[in-house]
Amino acid sequence: MHQPELGTTDAPEVGELTPPTRTLMGPGPSDVHPRVLRAMSTPLVGHLDPSFIEIMDDTQELLRYTFRTDNKWTIPVSGTGSASMEAAIGNLVEPGETVLVPTNGYFGGRMAEMARRAGGDVVEVDAPWGEPLDPVDVRAAFDEHQPDVFGFVHAETSTGVRQPDVPELTSIAHDHDAYVIADCVTSLGGVPLKVDEWDIDAAYSGPQKCLSCPPGASPLTLNDRAMDKVLSREEPTRSWYLDLSLLEGYWGEERAYHHTAPVTNVYALREALRLVAEEGIESRWARHRETAGALKAGIEAMGLEMNVADEYWLPSLNAVRVPDGDAGQGPASTGASRHTVDDGAVIADLLDGYDLEIASGLGDLAGDIFRIGCMGHSARPANVSLLVSALGQTLAEHGAGVDVGAGVEATASRL
């Protein structure tokens, strides 16, 4: 039988790009600010163009402001949050070193995986999913294992836990001469984060959460102590692309070619960070707390429960327990849910009926929680009001005993 040669088939008929207009209240990406979208449609310049060098300088300065740091070594890494994460871990961990990571969420697990691939020996400090690390346990793990590098997740997107006591954790690590890497993907620009004051050696983030920028250029900052370690490594880091000693040539004084920067993503990040500076970082933290506070008040008033104690509540990611339905009323659970209300079906109905995105739990919390983001440009009254009424209505349709009116009222009274 005659087989057409590869590449000789007719041009596929693919329609114009028309994604639905969603309200993004999941774990990210969040709604992108229109100014950021406009910045992305401005003409490209070369990645070594003198005008782009200025744009790079602006972006670095704005990143320093947002991270609350004077670190010279503050850059957007080309790629998603996992790229800035791997840049931090891959450069700071040397083969044979001991790396202490947390077990209390999905992203601590990813840290462990990256540390192993960097040649590190991974040891763990335990806490259940849904709780933060206890400094007492961290100190005990340091005394037992004497790690060289300690990674923790400041805002665990999988559980909605905000790690408190950060200065205490960093001081334990420094008492043991270790380096501290903080995952700030879901905290940067949304909840208080003070890299210098808290003495964090390296912090990384992503643009698509509280900065409300599309993924593609991901914030990273290292202090001099961390950068000295990176620059005096015995063997180069295993990734050429993420080797900070090479990237220094592009983002440092020299501005020489390493790889082609994602110009449009840098434009976007610069504009997103300009919005942070215009609002003021402290006001932005307050807006997240207040808007997510209204969301939380509505959730609780309708009879749902948050999965995390108030002390560790993370305004940018709200973990809400999947309720059980009134006996016999709700449709049978079909997904990972152990509850009579099927979380997957509720999430699908919100998307179909309201163009509203939220997400289910991951790992140990799969089927048990909804994850509701309140990040950046998504952290605004219109979104929160829609979320509370749409979630309440949909849960009621699925047989949950919720008081939708009380929820809507509680949210409205806080906005």
Contact residues toward ligand PLP (CB under 6 A) are 27-28, 80-82, 85, 107, 153, 157, 183, 185-186, 206, 215
| CB of residue 83 to ligand PLP, shortest distance in Å | 7
Nearest to 180 by CA among 211, 237, 135: 135
| CB of residue 111 to ligand PLP, shortest distance in Å | 8
Query: In sequence order, what are the residues at sequence separation of 6 or more whose Cβ sits closer than 8 angstroms to the Cβ of residue 177?
Result: none
Pairing of β 161-162 and β 149-153? unpaired
CA dihedral 92, 190, 371, 357 (to 10 degrees): -110
Q: CB-wise, 302 or 359, nearer to ligand PLP?
A: 359
Q: Are 361 and 317 in contact (CB under 8 A)?
A: no
Q: Closest CB to ligand PLP belongs to which residue? A: 81
Residue 58, class by beta-carbon neighbours within 10 Å (0-12 exposed, 13-18 middle, 19+ buried)? Answer: middle
Q: CB-wise, 156 or 343, nearer to ligand PLP?
A: 156
Nearest to 251 by CA among 12, 119, 75, 123: 75
Q: CB-wise, 185 or 384, nearer to ligand PLP?
A: 185
Q: CB-wise, 83 or 100, nearer to ligand PLP?
A: 83
Q: At what angle do helices 81-92 and 224-231 cross, to 10 degrees?
A: 70
Residue 41, class by beta-carbon neighbours within 10 Å (0-12 exposed, 13-18 middle, 19+ buried)? Answer: exposed
Nearest to 231 by CA among 240, 221, 219, 243: 243
Q: How many CB atoms lie within 10 A of CB 77?
A: 25
Q: CB-wise, 101 or 294, nearer to ligand PLP?
A: 101
Q: Is the peptide bond before 29 cis (omega within 30 degrees of 0)?
A: yes
Query: In sequence order, what are the residues at sequence separation of 6 or more whose Cβ sits closer than 8 angstroms to the Cβ of residue 381?
Result: 291, 294, 415
Q: CB-wise, 40 or 406, nearer to ligand PLP?
A: 40
- In whole angstroms, what is the distance from residue 218 CA to residue 84 CA? 6
Q: CB-wise, 23 or 218, nearer to ligand PLP?
A: 218
Task: Categorise residue 39: left if φ over 0, alpha if ψ from -120 to 50, beta otherwise.
Answer: alpha
| CB of residue 38 to ligand PLP, shortest distance in Å | 23
Q: CB-wise, 32 or 153, nearer to ligand PLP?
A: 153
| CB of residue 186 to ligand PLP, shortest distance in Å | 5
DSSP code at position 79? E
| CB of residue 208 to ligand PLP, shortest distance in Å | 6
Q: CB-wise, 80 or 98, nearer to ligand PLP?
A: 80
| CB of residue 302 to ligand PLP, shortest distance in Å | 27
| CB of residue 155 to ligand PLP, shortest distance in Å | 6
| CB of residue 14 to ligand PLP, shortest distance in Å | 27
| CB of residue 79 to ligand PLP, shortest distance in Å | 7
